[in-house]
Amino acid sequence: MMDVKRNIRAICSSLPEGVKLVAVSKFHPVETIKEVYGAGQRIFGESRVQELIAKQPLLPEDIEWHFIGTLQTNKVKYIAPFISMIESVDTFRLLQEINRQAEKFNRVIRALIEVHIAEEGSKHGFSIDECKSLFTQTTLKQFPSIRVCGLMGMATFTDDTDQVRREFGILRNLFNEIKSIPDTDKEIFTELSMGMSDDYKVAIEEGSTIVRIGTGIFGTREY
Ligand SMILES: *Cc1c(COP(=O)(O)O)cnc(C)c1O
């Protein structure tokens, strides 16, 4: 048995002031999530819509759910009523649909733009140039029911720490560049979500404000 409470306390006490923790609970049962909740954790992350909507009604209402996986446009409607933040916005069509559903449910949904920073081809996200043009062309003004709070990215899955650090650095530079655009609301555009169990320490050194940790809290996932 994993001692999830001990794990989460150890991680929380190691995080610098101002860095938020998303406990990534995908593939883990409601009972285990309750234990982590009992240790005081309130932000949880899931990556599949079906799984999230099955678990959400069984868990306390004050949990802030972050969606972190690939989101199909036809499934936005299922999470729109309650999702606290969609961290994995990777297409223009998804922005359109999130805005539409947020309007329908009379909400403003917080979101992060996912940027492709990894060398590997498999990762999702806007390219750096596409991401920049979302902000410089004020494209996002078309979506008044989405509050874009920052950027999210995943580094290459590798033991090469220098490469991971370089990739996180690229995302941080982009984040700072976007922040310096006069049209960017600096009160809202504040979050840089990078870092998972294996690389969150490097991510924090590179300026992360949100780390997304699954295995380090819950142990390995059984798929
Ligand atoms: C699963 C997942 C995580 C957590 O990964 P761990 O290595 O278990 O910490 C973080 N971010 C995203 C986008 C994920 O899909």
DSSP annotation string for 18-80: T-EEEEE-TT--HHHHHHHHHTT--EEEES-HHHHHHHGGGS-TT-EEEE-S---GGGHHHHT
Atom of ligand 1 nearest to the CA of 198: 7
The pLDDT, as a whole number, for residue 176 is: 98
Q: Ramachandran region of residue 6, left (φ > 0), alpha (ψ -120 to 50) or beta?
A: alpha
- In angstroms, what is the span from residue 209 Cα to ligand 1's centroid? 16
- Whether the CA torsion 97, 94, 168, 36 is positive or negative: it is positive
Cβ 171 vs Cβ 134: under 8 Å: no
Give yes or no for residue 1 having a pLDDT over 70: no
Average pLDDT over residues 64-86: 98
Q: Could you give the percent of the chain with pLDDT greater than 70?
A: 98
**24, 89, 158, 204: which to mutate for ligand 1, most atoms within 8 A of CB?**
24
Average pLDDT over residues 179-185: 94
Structure-block tokens of residue 127: 């390219």
13-26 confidence digits (pLDDT tens): 999 999 999 999 99
Residues with CB under 6 A from ligand 1: 24, 26, 47, 68-69, 154, 196-198, 212-216
Q: Could you give the percent of the chain with pLDDT greater than 90?
A: 94
38 Cβ contact partners less than 8 Å away, ≥ 6 residues apart: 5
**196, 217, 222, 223: which to mutate for ligand 1, most atoms within 8 A of CB?**
196
The pLDDT, as a whole number, for residue 146 is: 98
Distances in whole angstroms, Cα of residue 105 to Cα of each of 6, 38, 77, 79: 38, 30, 9, 11
- In angstroms, what is the span from residue 135 Cα to ligand 1's centroid? 27
- In angstroms, what is the span from residue 141 Cα to ligand 1's centroid? 30
The pLDDT, as a whole number, for residue 138 is: 82
The pLDDT, as a whole number, for residue 121 is: 65
112-153 confidence digits (pLDDT tens): 999 999 987 666 899 999 999 999 998 899 999 999 999 999
Cβ 149 vs Cβ 179: under 8 Å: no
- In angstroms, what is the span from residue 214 Cα to ligand 1's centroid? 6
d(CA 163, CA 160): 5
Structure-block tokens of residue 7: 């794990």
- In angstroms, what is the span from residue 182 Cα to ligand 1's centroid? 33
| End-to-end alpha carbon distance in the chain | 17
- In angstroms, what is the span from residue 24 Cα to ligand 1's centroid? 6
